[in-house]
Amino acid sequence: MSSNWFKRKLANGEAVTRSWLVYSPSKKSAYCICCLLYSRSEHQSTLQQEGGFSQWKAPERMTVHKNAKNHRECFTLWKELERNLTEKKGILGVELQLQIEKEKQKWRDILMRILHGIKYLTKQNLALRGHRESLQADGNSNVGNFLGLMKFLAVFDPVMREHLALIESHPYALSYISPGVQNEFIHIMASTVRKNLLDSIKKAKYYGLLFDSTPDQAHREQISEVVRFVDIDFERKTVCVRESFLGFLHLRQKDAASFV
């Protein structure tokens, strides 16, 4: 197979590249890339079969394949794909692509409201849970601060109103408001806050460590870890002393006794 196979001459003598024609050195055969991708015809030429085309003494087969109705349909679909990749940066249809982007944006909006609700409650040091965490609970049940906040937000916000209506009608649908997901979001935000605090502490020239022992709900001894440091803001030219709580250190019983 020579390079001339990849070009055809028009009646005016102009040479046009056969962009659909590819060659496999391993199989020593030629293939039609667009027919390999899109053809569903029962009558396939060798250019779209697994073995490929290798009858180099029969170049007229190329012209026959190019003029076939199945090839023209596959070539059109292939060029539409190429145009979508160039203009829309996607391999799917324009309408389907827009639908996917709309769905992604909807979940971004929902997660943003859920995260801000959790952030508000934790910042105010309020419990998220209630006696009965369910959107189907009656008016006398305490569903907790978090679900109550989401229901309150749904009164004014159409995004949460639609989301909560979907959850109430389909209890097993994806919701991102379960206790497990709430805890996961809290841990993610806590890790981010702790990292930012540690970065600020590392920049400080003066700091001190404060520890205090107190039992938790299970009567296990735990030590609260607090760092007191001097925060210097050179841009605003301010200096202040800050205290940051970093977490609890749980001790074994014998270690707790020695600490006390």
- C-alpha closest to that of 92 among 106, 104, 80, 102: 80
Is the pLDDT at 108 greater than 90? The verdict is yes
> Where does the pLDDT of residue 173 fall: very low under 50, low under 70, confident under 90, or very high at 90 and above?
confident
Is the residue at 23 inside a domain? yes
Q: Cα-Cα-Cα-Cα dihedral of 48, 63, 76, 19, to 10°?
A: 80
* pTM value surpassing 0.75: no
Q: How high is the pLDDT of residue 90?
A: 54
Residue 175 host element (H or E): none
Domain termination residue (choose one: 182, 212, 247): 182
Considering the domain architecture, whether residues 72 and 104 belong to the same structural domain is answered as: no
Lowest mean pLDDT: which of 1-15, 81-95, 124-138? 81-95
Give per-residue pLDDT as tens, 7-65. 777 777 788 888 888 888 888 888 888 888 888 877 777 887 877 888 877 777 877 88
Q: Which domain holds residue 35?
A: 3-87
Percent of the chain, pLDDT > 70? 88
Considering the domain architecture, whether residues 61 and 102 belong to the same structural domain is answered as: no
Give per-residue pLDDT as tens, 69-81. 888 888 888 888 7
Q: Helix, strand or coil for residue 60?
A: helix
Considering the domain architecture, whether residues 40 and 68 belong to the same structural domain is answered as: yes
The answer to whether 159 touches 113, Cβ cutoff 8 Å, is yes
241-256: average pLDDT: 72
**DSSP label at residue 53:** B
Q: How high is the pLDDT of residue 79?
A: 84
CA distance linking residue 159 with residue 164, whole number of Å: 9
Considering the domain architecture, whether residues 9 and 77 belong to the same structural domain is answered as: yes
Is the residue at 62 inside a domain? yes
Is the residue at 213 inside a domain? yes
Give per-residue pLDDT as tens, 192-211. 888 888 888 888 878 888 88
Number of neighbours of residue 71 by Cβ within 10 angstroms: 22
Is the residue at 168 inside a domain? yes
Total of domains in the chain: 3
